[in-house]
Amino acid sequence: MFLIRKPCQIHSNQLCAPDNTMEKEGICKFKQLFSYLGCFLRKFMFSILSVGPIPDHIAFIMDGNRRFAKKRHLLEGDGHKAGYESLISILNYCYQLGVKYITVYAFSIENFKRQPEEVQLLMDLMVEKIEDLLRNGSIVDKYGMRLYFVGNLGLLSSTVRAAAEKAMQATAHNSRAVLLICVAYTSSNEMVHAVNQAIRKNEFDSVEEEHIEKVPMIKINDIKRHMYMSVAPDPDIVIRSSGETRLSNFLLWQTAYSPLYSPTALWPEISIWHLIWVVLDFQRKYAYLQKKRKQP
Amino acid sequence: MLPLRSSVSLEKKLLSFSRNSCPSTITQSLLFPSHGRLVQLKTAVSATGVAHREDDKGVNTGTASTWDLSEPEPLPPGLLRELMPRHVAVVMDGNARWARRRGLPASSGHEAGVQSLRELIELCVKWGIRVLTVFAFSSENWFRPKGEVDFLMGLFERVMESELQNIHRQGVQISTIGDSSKLPKSLQKLLSRAEQYTKDNSQLHMIVAISYSGRSDITQACKRIARKVKDGVICLEDIDEKLIEGELETSFSDFPSPDLLIRTSGELRLSNFLLWQLAYTELFFAQTLWPDFRKTEFVEALHSFQQRQRRYGSRNS
């Protein structure tokens, strides 16, 4: 499995030890060969998958970073860093496969109740990684990715909010791939916001009821239009890592018809095999799911 | 052997004594000579003299028609009473597939599914689950073939007619959620009658979602809020999660959010069922088709629920 776990962007100086003995050179070349073989196998499998329908939008609940750190006897912060590396891998696989929209549940409003040290650690990590994403040659450049930070951004500190807004502005011209990062987000908060906006903007029709008075006629689309997630279609698939089978207030409205998968692997352990298995199952049920979605 | 008239007057004397007492829980022992056994009745008697049944919170729930004549049935091995879900929701999927596998028409599958529901209700009553919500018919199901839809409407009527007494005897209160205006008039009347007839029961609150859509539920809540804003009853700034929750169709329930949702037949979707209410619900997707979902499978779902750590976004200590 490790052969095709990571995308093949390994440079030779990362594989070889500084003192270039014959034996170490051989090992370096062996590792490089494995890496190229892994890349070839991945591209081969993706081209087979591409014969069938590819999901347009996959949503991930990235659960299990802390448990991963505990399992590997790491510091808690290292679990979240490993989680970020895993996210980059998964983004690579998904965009190479042809998925256009990816949504990740990075930080829930409920997560603010955690220990302040952990919250601060996550906020600092977020700022650091946003800066990494905006550097030249990053995955954002590679796939022409547009970034959206979805949630009640007013709950974030000014530093984090500024970093998020800068990232959204810097990538606003991109359109080949879209990454929606749910931060300071819960679905119920999103719906409250949408209802508030719909009523405030007074865009819905009023109809006369029994010729007495005009009654506001909010429709489903009036609410949908004002959701934070209105910039993307509903997810075709939701994947929650670590084996927990619940939505935890994530995209409750948008996932009404989405299949939910919950592999037992912790988020930093999620691999290309989990993605392939999910996509194969999606393809198997595609015709039935499409029929369900087309019903008004 | 005491004549029945004497035992009745003894009961009245005991009750009149308790009426003059402060509100309290009194365990009354009455000897029923016709049965020759002692029956323990637990009652909480208020100052008004009307007997109430105390629920787990110690709040009077106000029914005079149900009495705990026995202790709750012991749970199967491995299940802990303190970890039982209070509210279980079920998506009863797989009837048509069950019938197809047996070379039978879909109607046979739906009829077989009724048996599973009957058993589930009994188990919920016996094991002290407080609320059971069943997804009987979604708003999308109206697009099924007319023959199947008409059969389902007929089946709902037949089952409600035949099972109402049994359900009432078990102390089950029936409520319905969904757009009932689309249902046949006869079924609407029957459901209304069932709700009225069982409204004072408190062993189990069974909510039947019929012609229901989670998105429509949220939308109608928003419509009502918009009206209140228009009428000046509330301001825009008052709109919060609690307000929306209070306007949903499930707001009448003591426990509007399910602790556990079970969907049968291996499908991994919510299918527009109780979207808002399922924010932190544990989801259990069973491979079994609904007509085959019985006590064993329910116990398995409960086992799975009891293993899970529910954190609601925070951390365990």
Note whether A32 contacts B: Cβ–Cβ < 8 A: no
Separation CA B149–CA A158 (nearest Å):
55
Q: What are phi and psi of A64, to 5 degrees?
A: 115, 5
Separation CA A61–CA A226 (nearest Å):
23
Separation CA B111–CA B102 (nearest Å):
14
Q: Which residue in A has a C-alpha nearest to residue B220's C-alpha?
A: A218
Q: Which residue in B has a C-alpha nearest to residue A66's C-alpha?
A: B315
The pLDDT value recorded for residue A295 is 54
pLDDT tens, per residue, chain B with 317 residues: 333 343 334 434 433 333 433 333 333 333 333 333 333 333 333 333 333 333 333 333 333 334 444 556 788 989 999 999 999 999 999 999 999 999 999 889 999 999 999 999 999 999 999 999 999 999 999 998 899 899 999 999 999 999 999 999 999 999 999 999 999 999 999 999 999 999 999 999 999 999 999 999 999 998 899 889 888 899 988 999 999 999 999 999 989 999 999 999 999 999 999 999 999 999 999 999 999 999 999 999 999 999 986 766 655 54
| Chain A CB contacts of B314 below 8 Å | 110-111, 113-114
Unique residue bearing structure tokens 């279609």? A233
The pLDDT value recorded for residue A22 is 75
Which of B215, B239, B269 is the closest to A260 by Cβ?
A: B269
Q: What string of H, E and C letters represents the secondary structure of chain B? A: CCCHHHHHHHHHHHHHHHHCCCCEEEEEEEEECCCCEEEEEEEEECCCCCEECECCCCCECCCCCCCCCCCCCCCCCCCCHHHCCCEEEEECCCHHHHHHHCCCCHHHHHHHHHHHHHHHHHHHHHCCCCEEEEEEEEHHHHHCCHHHHHHHHHHHHHHHHHHHHHHHHCCEEEEEECCHHHCCHHHHHHHHHHHHHCCCCCCEEEEEEEEECHHHHHHHHHHHHHHHHHCCCCCHHHCCHHHHHHHCCCCCCCCCCCCEEEECCCCCCCCCCCCHHHCCCEEEECCCCHHHCCHHHHHHHHHHHHHCCCCCCCCCC
The pLDDT value recorded for residue A219 is 80
Residue A19 confidence (pLDDT) above 70: no
Catalytic residue, chosen from A19, A63, A78, A132, is A63
Cross-chain residue pair B279–A261, CB shorter than 8 Å:
no
Catalytic residue, chosen from B55, B56, B68, B93, is B93
User: Which residue in A254, A228, A257 sits closest to A109, CA to CA?
Assistant: A228
Unique residue bearing structure tokens 């009891």? B306
The tokens describing A246, both together, are: 């619940």
Cross-chain residue pair B239–A195, CB shorter than 8 Å:
yes
Note whether A111 contacts B: Cβ–Cβ < 8 A: yes
Which of A220, A259, A261 is the closest to B219 by Cβ?
A: A220
Judge residue A53's burial from the number of C-beta atoms within 10 Å of its C-beta, 0-12 exposed, 13-18 middle, 19 or more buried.
middle
Beta-carbon contacts of A199 under 8 Å, excluding residues fewer than 6 positions away, are A216, A218, B222, B225, B226, B229, B236, B239
User: Which residue in B307, B312, B222, B207 sits closest to B253, CA to CA?
Assistant: B207
Cross-chain residue pair A195–B225, CB shorter than 8 Å:
yes
Angle at B134 between CA A189 and CA B89, to 5 degrees: 50
Separation CA A223–CA A204 (nearest Å):
10
Alpha carbon B136 to chain centroid distance?
13
Mutate to test the interface with B, among A115, A196, A222, A289 (most CBs of B within 10 A): A196
Note whether A171 contacts B: Cβ–Cβ < 8 A: no
Cross-chain residue pair B313–A110, CB shorter than 8 Å:
yes
The pLDDT value recorded for residue A178 is 97
Which of B225, B284, B313 is the closest to A108 by Cβ?
A: B313
Note whether A20 contacts B: Cβ–Cβ < 8 A: no
Report residue A57's pLDDT band, with 50, 70 and 90 as the boundaries.
very high
Alpha carbon B113 to chain centroid distance?
17
Which of B268, B312, B313 is the closest to A260 by Cβ?
A: B268
Mutate to test the interface with B, among A218, A286, A291 (most CBs of B within 10 A): A218
Unique residue bearing structure tokens 């319905």? B176
Burial A89-123 (b: 16+ CB within 10 A, else e): bbbbbbbebebbbbbbbbbbbbbeebeeeeeebbb
Query: Which residues from B are below 8 Å from A when comparing CB atoms?
Result: 140, 143, 214-216, 218-219, 222-223, 225-227, 229-230, 236, 239-241, 244, 267-272, 275-276, 278-285, 308, 312-315
Nearest CA to CA, how far is B310 from chain A (Å)? 9
Region for A111 from its dihedrals, namely left if φ exceeds 0, alpha if ψ lies in -120 to 50, beta otherwise: alpha
Is residue B150 annotated as part of the catalytic site, yes or no? no
The pLDDT value recorded for residue A294 is 60
Farthest-apart Cα atoms in chain A, separation = 92
Taking all residues of chain A, what is their mean pLDDT, rounded to a whole number?
A: 86
Nearest CA to CA, how far is B256 from chain A (Å)? 15
- Based on its alpha-carbon atoms, the radius of gyration of chain A, rounded to whole angstroms, reads 22
Least confident of A243-247, A266-270, B21-25, B105-109: B21-25
Beta-carbon contacts of A94 under 8 Å, excluding residues fewer than 6 positions away, are A58, A102, A275
Rounded mean pLDDT, A84-106: 96
Of B42 and A180, the one with more pLDDT:
A180
| Chain A CB contacts of B281 below 8 Å | 246-247
Note whether A191 contacts B: Cβ–Cβ < 8 A: yes
Nearest CA to CA, how far is B195 from chain A (Å)? 27
Residue type, A244: E
Q: Find out whether B168 and B197 touch, Cβ atoms under 8 Å.
A: yes
Q: Find out whether A143 and A149 touch, Cβ atoms under 8 Å.
A: no
Q: Which residue in B has a C-alpha nearest to residue A64's C-alpha?
A: B315
Cross-chain residue pair A110–B244, CB shorter than 8 Å:
no
Residue A150 confidence (pLDDT) above 80: yes
The tokens describing A248, both together, are: 């935890």
Cross-chain residue pair B278–A261, CB shorter than 8 Å:
no
Cross-chain residue pair A256–B215, CB shorter than 8 Å:
yes
> pLDDT digit string (tens) for A34-51?
888 888 889 899 999 999
Which of B223, B268, B276 is the closest to A218 by Cβ?
A: B223
Q: Find out whether B22 and B14 touch, Cβ atoms under 8 Å.
A: no
The tokens describing A88, both together, are: 């980059």
Cross-chain residue pair B236–A219, CB shorter than 8 Å:
no
Residue A190 confidence (pLDDT) above 90: yes
Region for B174 from its dihedrals, namely left if φ exceeds 0, alpha if ψ lies in -120 to 50, beta otherwise: beta
Burial A209-238 (b: 16+ CB within 10 A, else e): eeeeeeebebeeebbbebbbbeebebbbbb
The tokens describing A233, both together, are: 């279609």
A54: helix, strand or coil: coil
